[in-house]
């Protein structure tokens, strides 16, 4: 039987507050799978017109798939969240772009006609499972000189990017980081961030039970002087510090995607429409430049230029990585289209979960910015990749 591609819409997205990884962080004694279960349950609660049995797939990303992030976490989280046993699920890994890939993979299934409604998201508990835990890189990577040794250390790849873009100084990266902190503080004050957050139970043997209601990583009031004093751990007299990079974080995200006609049938209100997506590879030792070729590929395929893009949500793994993207596309460092409510330098970057955070914020911005038709979510990916998703605002005033 012939199949016809269907339009895919982003219906809703939620996330736990992000915590700092480590023994003193919000989620130090909270399981990773419980974080993503909390997000899935909230997603279903917020969309009561969706019968749980209509969910066709649950795709959950985790970079370190072991312990409480293992056991095919998409399936185990679906069962723990109370979805019917008939709902399947799976785990997915594309490092930092895990949740983004969970979205694009399941969305492709919707477009193809194999799914009607899916849940996609990601989780990373970097306190329990540090990046690289249990990894055994093949010695041929270095012995055969397939990659530079620095490719396996994300902070070193950011220093390499400073080398490739000498115009991106430490001072410029610090200035970008301060703006990210300021924008997050302003967004919190205006109540822009809170609607995406799911109050999440936390436990502590010492303190008992508590409730996480806001992100732990932001440092409001950060100044350039503060950042200038920080050490450069990846290179002597380097450029990358804890202040101009995302931290080590814990958190989970989940979103609801559907075929546009099925969303109408079920009384679900779409926030944005998925137009296209692209992934691209780059040299692993400068993985931060990955969003550039991914975005170029996507724009070319859709006959668009950056002038057509009204909003850009780019993951701030490192300030230099964002600035390299902006410099390539001749976008000013303080362009208002870019991360209007701040980004991962302030909010945190729990690896595989971050792609859906970008989508959540873009969808909220679309609701306010009916003058904007197209937006991007884009991010760099460890081992030398980039991913970009092109979205259309369903509230765009040109459609009315």
**Do 62 and 317 form a contact (C-beta atoms < 8 A)?**
no
Q: Please give the Cα distance from 95 to 219 (Å, whole number).
A: 26
- Non-local (6+) Cβ contacts of 163 within 8 A are none
Q: What is the CA radius of gyration of the chain?
A: 20
- Catalytic residue chosen out of the listed positions 125, 129, 162, 349: 349
| Active site annotation includes 349 | yes
* Closest C-alpha to 277, from 292, 291, 298: 298
CA angle 69, 71, 74 (to 5 degrees): 75
**295 close to 318: Cβ distance less than 8 angstroms:** no
* Active-site residue, selected from the candidate residues 96, 125, 162, 255: 96
Q: Is 255 a catalytic residue?
A: no
DSSP H helical ranges for the chain: 32-46, 73-80, 98-112, 140-143, 154-164, 170-189, 224-228, 260-266, 291-301, 319-328, 344-347, 354-368
Task: Please return the burial class of 123, using the count of CB atoms within 10 Å of its CB with bins 0-12, 13-18 and 19+.
Answer: buried
Catalytic residues: 96, 349, 380
């Amino acid at each position: 039987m012939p199949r016809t591609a269907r339009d895919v819409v982003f219906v809703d997205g939620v996330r736990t507050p992000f915590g700092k990884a480590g023994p003193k962080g919000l989620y130090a004694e909270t399981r990773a799978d419980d974080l993503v279960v909390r997000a899935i349950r909230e997603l279903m609660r917020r969309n009561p017109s969706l019968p749980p049995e209509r969910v066709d797939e649950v795709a959950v990303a985790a970079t370190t798939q072991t312990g409480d992030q293992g056991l095919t976490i998409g399936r185990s989280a679906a069962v723990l969240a109370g979805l019917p046993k008939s709902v399947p699920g799976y785990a997915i890994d594309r490092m930092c772009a895990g949740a983004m890939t969970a979205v694009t993979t399941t969305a492709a299934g919707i477009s193809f006609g194999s799914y009607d409604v899916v849940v996609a998201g990601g989780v990373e508990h970097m306190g329990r499972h540090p990046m690289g835990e249990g990894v055994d890189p093949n010695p041929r990577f270095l012995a055969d000189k397939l990659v530079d040794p620095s490719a396996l250390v994300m902070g070193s790849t950011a220093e390499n990017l400073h080398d490739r873009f000498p115009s991106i100084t430490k001072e410029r990266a610090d200035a970008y980081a301060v703006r990210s902190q300021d924008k997050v503080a302003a967004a919190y004050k205006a109540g822009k961030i809170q609607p995406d957050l799911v109050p999440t139970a936390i436990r502590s043997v010492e303190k008992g039970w508590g409730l996480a209601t806001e992100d732990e990583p932001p440092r409001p009031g950060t100044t350039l002087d503060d950042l200038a004093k920080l050490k450069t751990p990846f290179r002597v007299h380097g450029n990358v510090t804890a202040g101009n990079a995302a931290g080590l974080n814990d958190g989970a995200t989940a979103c609801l995607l559907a075929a546009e006609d099925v969303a109408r049938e079920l009384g679900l209100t779409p926030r944005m429409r998925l137009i296209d997506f692209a992934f691209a590879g780059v040299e692993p030792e400068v993985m931060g430049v990955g969003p550039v070729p991914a975005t170029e590929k996507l724009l070319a395929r859709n006959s668009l230029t950056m002038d057509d893009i009204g909003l850009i949500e780019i993951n701030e793994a490192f300030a230099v990585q964002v600035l390299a993207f902006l410099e390539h596309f001749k976008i000013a460092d303080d362009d208002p289209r870019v991360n209007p409510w701040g980004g991962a330098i302030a909010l945190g970057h729990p690896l595989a979960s971050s792609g859906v955070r970008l989508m959540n914020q873009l969808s909220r911005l679309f609701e306010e910015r009916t003058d904007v038709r197209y937006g991007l979510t884009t991010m760099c990916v460890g081992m030398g990749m980039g991913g970009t998703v092109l979205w259309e605002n369903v509230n765009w005033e040109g459609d009315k």
